[in-house]
Amino acid sequence: MAVLTTQRHSGSQPFTVIMRAAIVGLTLATAAIHASLGGTLFLMNAIGYTALAIALVVPGPIGRIRWLTRWALIGFTAVTIGGWLMFGARFDLAYLDKGIEIALIALLLLESWIVDGGPLGAVRRVRRIAGSIAH
């Protein structure tokens, strides 16, 4: 389990706490927008965003893999933006939501870089986990 919890910087430093609060706020904002649109696809998207926001702040076992939750949220958000680019309606609320989602990805990348060492830090963790499983 120690492999999962190694961090470059403390996640409780004031800057990271403020950044995480902003990330959770943006995540819940886009969840609310999707929930307000109606339909199963938008509702499922809202549930996904909400679940990932909760996973970002829950302590314990889930908190130990917060680095993975960040990357899951980056991927989820990128797929949401991609889906909108391919099929989405072009109206003011949609553009606002895409702005929120782009800001969300930017903050997640920044937090990942500060706390985990960025994408290379995530790759190193995956390799260490894979190595520990193989042995």
Neighbours of 128 (CB within 10 A): 14
pTM listed for this prediction: 0.85
Domain boundaries, given as residue ranges, for the chain? 11-134
- Tokens (6 digits) for 60: 């314990």
The dihedral over CA atoms of 13, 7, 21, 126, expressed in degrees to the nearest 10, equals: 170
Give the single-character DSSP code of 63: G
Neighbours of 35 (CB within 10 A): 15
- Tokens (6 digits) for 32: 């609310």
**pLDDT tens per residue across span 50-104:** 999 999 999 988 888 899 999 999 999 999 999 999 999 999 999 999 999 999 9
**pLDDT tens per residue across span 3-43:** 344 445 555 689 989 999 999 999 999 999 999 999 999 99
